[in-house]
Amino acid sequence: MGTKPYNEKNVDRKNGTLVVATNAQFKPYEYYEDGKIVGIDMDMMRAICDKLGMELKIEDIEFDSIITSVQSGKADVGAAGMSVTEDRKKNVDFSNFYAETRQVIVVRNTESGAAGISFFEKLQQNFVDSSRWSYIVTGLGNTLLITLFAIIIGIVLGALIAIVRTIHDQNHKLKILNFICKLYLTIIRGTPAMIQLLIIYYVIFASVNIDKILVAVVAFGLNSAAYVAEVIRSGINSVDKGQFEAGRSLGLTYKQTMLSIILPQAFKNILPALCNECISLLKETAISGYIGLTDLTKAGDIIRSQTFEAFIPLIAVALIYLVIVMILTAGVNKLERKLKNDNAR
């Protein structure tokens, strides 16, 4: 392994781009080295691109999503050291096999050299060597970016849905919009977020070359909106009806009453629930790896695939999530105290 790497040829690559879907956790066929995906399969893909005069683009996604990616047109070919079976051959076309493998059993050996590695040496191996900390930084940045914009979409869209449903409950107006909103809530709340993400990427945007972060923002934003809508609606209903009647008796319009009197009081009531939704959304982004997006969880998986050390990367990722959640919780608690003090005045 590594003694005879394929050297790319200097050819005219005018025939477009060949998109290869893989799961870069299967050394020596595909794995990360110095921040790049290399290996036997990737060498073959580079040789094919030289022959076809094409650029090579490698998508690192979950193994279960490789076939889906090819079938939906998001990738042109899948290469991930796949075993050829009769059931799989009924659904996809395989190349001729090019490797024969043997099955082995992995057992714990307390006398091996690995058992003598200290904790600090493991830290260096997982984060310092080959600059593996950069995966964590990239993943954390993507996770925060997705969470921020998804919660903005969730709050804005959720508030609109809540208002439509509240108007219908009070005045029996907007029947068509209310029906659409109820259908939307039923579908989104009744299906897993991961399925929604895969449908949006592989079905809705199947023929569109779209940024994966944008796909994740849209998917998680739409998912969050369904839950935020019910949170806001329950907050509006928790405000005494006399408040609404008092606003209208003062000559305020329905819109002015809702914006100036009802929603500010409802916001204070729903603040803890909104915080919980932000926390849930942050953790839900951990499934972004299914579309080949490097989020915080995927970054830990990349490091784990290189070092075969599960404890350190997973604990590091968990601690980062925990710290972010604690910061969010502290911020909301501070805001709650400020609102209470303002009401006391």
Is residue 323's pLDDT more than 80?
A: yes
Give the three-class secondary structure for 129: helix
* Distance, CA of 172 to CA of 228 (rounded, Å): 22
Quick one: pLDDT at residue 1?
54
| pTM of the complete model | 0.80
Query: Average pLDDT of 305-318?
Result: 88
Side chain identity at 195, as an amino acid letter?
Answer: I
CA 5 to chain CA centroid, Å, is 34
Quick one: pLDDT at residue 343?
59
Q: How confident is the model at residue 119 (pLDDT cuts 50, 70, 90)?
A: confident
Give residue-wise pLDDT tens across range 150-186.
Answer: 999 999 999 899 989 988 887 788 889 999 999 999 9
Give residue-wise pLDDT tens across range 46-87.
Answer: 999 999 999 999 999 988 889 888 888 889 999 998 888 888
Is residue 115's pLDDT more than 80?
A: no
Is residue 340's pLDDT more than 80?
A: no
User: Shortest CA distance to 98 belongs to which of 55, 47, 49?
Assistant: 47
Number of H helices, E strands in the chain: 13, 5
Is residue 344's pLDDT more than 60?
A: no
- What letter does residue 333 receive in the DSSP assignment? H
Is residue 113's pLDDT more than 60?
A: no
How big is the CA angle at 138 (ends 228 and 126), to the nearest 5 degrees? 120
Strand 31-33 and strand 17-22: the pairing is: unpaired
Quick one: pLDDT at residue 254?
76
Quick one: pLDDT at residue 261?
83
Query: Average pLDDT of 238-251?
Result: 81
* Distance, CA of 11 to CA of 20 (rounded, Å): 19
Give residue-wise pLDDT tens across range 256-280.
Answer: 887 788 888 888 778 878 888 888 9
The residue assigned the tokens 């839900």 is: 284
Q: From the CA atom positions of the chain, what is the Rg in Å? A: 26
236 contacts 266 by C-beta, under 8 angstroms: yes
pLDDT cut 90: percent of the chain above it: 42
Query: Average pLDDT of 271-291?
Result: 88
Residues 180, 182, 185, 189, CA torsion sign: negative
Is residue 188's pLDDT more than 90?
A: yes
Quick one: pLDDT at residue 116?
63
Quick one: pLDDT at residue 166?
87
